[in-house]
Amino acid sequence: MQTRLPPSNLYLREEELRRGVELLYFAYRDFTGDPDNILIKQQFGRAHHRVLYFVGRNPNIPVSGLLKLLRITKQSLSRVLSQLMDEGYIVQEQGIMDRRQRLLKLTEKGIKFEAELFSSQRERIARAYKNAGPEAVSGFWEVLLNIIDGEHRDSVLKQIEK
């Protein structure tokens, strides 16, 4: 096994680091291409997808929570969110604990559309997981998690571990 070999830092050479950069770039591009092709039909963009995705994953998230998660300005979110609400994909309810808050959740229509978008990515990810095998997948998660800023890692873990 790799772990029984004498320690080697060959995987930390410049070529191996650049390999990570390039694989991330190309994989991310193809991976976002699937939903992009569906979104374009509804005159939506990647920003709409992100909102649908994270509202779907965090029902009743307040607007401020979504802004922190996506790290965009409320002006940027405004247009996208308004369109999604106008077209019946998302609804907001006044908060109970804090009535200033607007809690966001997907409608039935939103749930269906998000599922369609996710399914276009699911096939790609599932195929990649299957081809690479469970150990590779663990490594994939481990490296990605360590690429994320330390200060944000907790919120990501909270996001993905449920």
Give the residues lining the site for a second copy (CB under 8 A): 1-3, 8, 11-12, 14-31, 50, 53, 57, 71, 118, 121-122, 124-149, 152, 156, 159-160, 162
Cβ pair 96, 116 in contact under 8 A: no
In the complex, the smallest distance separating the C-beta of residue 95 from a second copy, rounded to whole angstroms, is 25
Helices and strands (H and E) in the chain: how many:
7, 3
The pair of structure tokens assigned to 99 is 């009535």
Using CB under 7 A as the binding rule, whether residue 91 contacts DNA is answered as: no
Contact of residue 79 among a second copy, DNA, none (CB under 5-8 Å per partner type): DNA
Nearer to a second copy, 102 or 156 (CB): 156
Decide: 81 and 67 in contact? Cβ < 8 Å. Answer: no
Residue 62 binds to DNA (criterion: CB under 7 A): yes
Q: Which is nearer to a second copy, 63 or 128 (CB)?
A: 128
Give the span between the Cα atoms of 157 and 162, in whole angstroms.
9
Which residue from 5, 72, 27, 24 is spatially nearest to 45, judged by alpha carbons? 72
Instruction: Extract the tokens encoding 140.
Output: 């994939």
Binding status of residue 117 toward DNA by CB under 7 A: no
b/e map of 84-107 (b: 16 or more CB within 10 Å)?
Answer: bbebebbebeeeeeeeebbbbbbe
Beta bridge partners of 106: 90
Contacts with DNA by CB under 7 A: the residue count is 30
Residue 130's binding partner out of DNA, a second copy, none, with CB under 5 to 8 Å set by partner kind = a second copy
CB-wise, 108 or 161, nearer to a second copy? Answer: 161
CB 15 → DNA: shortest distance, Å? 26
Q: Which residues bind DNA (CB under 7 A)?
A: 43-48, 62-65, 67, 71-76, 78-82, 92, 95, 98-103
